[in-house]
Chain A
């Protein structure tokens, strides 16, 4: 369910768009051109599953549709990237109600690139207190 457009990114120069389109872990695995970075939408729904997998984690979210529920695929970073930010395989559980902001794909299918997420009460799914910082000895 598209609830709102939250923001627009600065339009990049043509060459940079081309470069960005040719590569993609986030950027390192595949192109980012499939996503409309100028558009942000908020999805409110129920988690069907959280795929803690390489090369990308995916949040499968069932949201209300015009006629019937629609399952959205929300692409995130790799497990290594998410782990350091405080995410764990059990951070999001099936049946949980969450709101997720995404950049939707351009072709209109129910998929998008993760921007942010909150619990139903508005608190973030992951707080910085659980994140692993960089730059200090183990």
Chain B
């Protein structure tokens, strides 16, 4: 076998360190994968909450929020949980005197997908991040990994999410979600899910400024059948995510079930 001339070998070896690693086939494949993904840049929000006025209230008031927030229910509860729901509602209606007051702050999954906050989606071939303005983040791994094994998995507010792309639709599978209220407001009588709930979402763009999330929730311990919901988001004309923070200057104090306004402190 004829060897390459010594001078050519020397040149090739000397040139090796300067070859750009990112020009390799892996990077090219990744770039093609990235280019095939949808462009969902921008800031998104549930359309009902986008109607908030300068006082923070939304069009129609709180009763309208409850009516339009699908995760608040009703859900196809089994007999045991429907009985609990009815008991909770009866107990609430039987209360006399001014109702107790309280505060709500961060929302977990799935509530963050239908809460008052704004969302941003960061899409890469390996992972999609859903960032909430209050700081909560959903990591949706799309690199082909399975969920962790049982020994390596425990319930968390965001759950464990993996996903894959079917054309321009992101299909998300979420398990290991902390048990609790499904909707953004922990109101007795609204839907509560177990930590065995299984969420399947199909997230897609339905027009230039609207995303739609078809969510199916299976929770055999509480639901008689899969619960289907369709959540929508409109793109806002914001050029940045504006952070929300519960603690920066929280001047509402709840004392013995009554909320009061604390005096302003120098800032």
Given A20-B63, A34-B259, do A54 and B56 touch, yes or no (CB 8 Å)? no
Instruction: Bits for B227-267, please: 1 = Cβ < 8 Å to A, else 0.
Output: 00000001111110011111011111010001111011001
B101 touches A30 (CB 8 A): yes
Contacts of B100 in A (CB 8 A): 21-22
From B65, B208, B251, B261, contact of A27 by CB (8 A):
B65
Does B185 count as interface, using CB distance less than 8 angstroms? yes
| Prevailing SS type, chain B contact patch | loop
Interface residues of B in 173-220 (CB under 8 A from A): 184-187, 208-209
Does A6 count as interface, using CB distance less than 8 angstroms? no
Q: How far is the CB of B241 from chain A (nearest CB, A)?
A: 9
Complex Cα–Cα for A85 and B186 (A): 28
Given A30-B102, A111-B261, A114-B55, do A133 and B244 touch, yes or no (CB 8 Å)? no
Does B19 count as interface, using CB distance less than 8 angstroms? no
A-B pair number, CB within 8 angstroms: 213
B99 touches A29 (CB 8 A): no
Contacts of B41 in A (CB 8 A): 138
Given A26-B55, A77-B54, A109-B260, do A55 and B244 touch, yes or no (CB 8 Å)? yes
Does B37 count as interface, using CB distance less than 8 angstroms? no
A19 touches B62 (CB 8 A): yes
Interface residues of A in 36-80 (CB under 8 A from B): 48-49, 51, 53-56, 58, 60, 71, 73, 75-80
Complex Cα–Cα for A61 and B227 (A): 49
Instruction: Bits for B36-67, please: 1 = Cβ < 8 Å to A, else 0.
Output: 00000111010100101111111001110110
A15 touches B92 (CB 8 A): yes
A75 touches B235 (CB 8 A): no
Does A107 count as interface, using CB distance less than 8 angstroms? yes
In the complex, the chain A residue whose C-beta lies closest to that of B55 is: A114
B52 touches A83 (CB 8 A): no
Contacts of A129 in B (CB 8 A): none
B245 touches A29 (CB 8 A): no
A26 touches B56 (CB 8 A): yes
Does B110 count as interface, using CB distance less than 8 angstroms? no
Does B14 count as interface, using CB distance less than 8 angstroms? no
Does B98 count as interface, using CB distance less than 8 angstroms? yes
Does B115 count as interface, using CB distance less than 8 angstroms? yes
From B56, B208, B236, B245, contact of A134 by CB (8 A):
B236
Q: Could you list 5 A-B pairs, sorted by A, with CB under 8 Å? A: A22-B186, A26-B116, A28-B104, A29-B103, A105-B261
Q: Add 18 more A-B contacts to A19-B187, A77-B53 (CB < 8 A).
A: A12-B63, A16-B62, A19-B63, A20-B63, A23-B104, A24-B103, A25-B52, A25-B56, A27-B57, A30-B254, A31-B259, A54-B245, A54-B249, A77-B54, A80-B244, A83-B242, A134-B45, A138-B235
Residues of A at the B interface (CB closer than 8 Å) are 12, 14-34, 48-49, 51, 53-56, 58, 60, 71, 73, 75-85, 87, 105, 107, 109, 111, 113-116, 126, 132-138
Closest 10 CB pairs of A and B: A26-B56, A77-B56, A53-B249, A31-B101, A80-B242, A54-B245, A111-B261, A21-B99, A28-B116, A23-B185
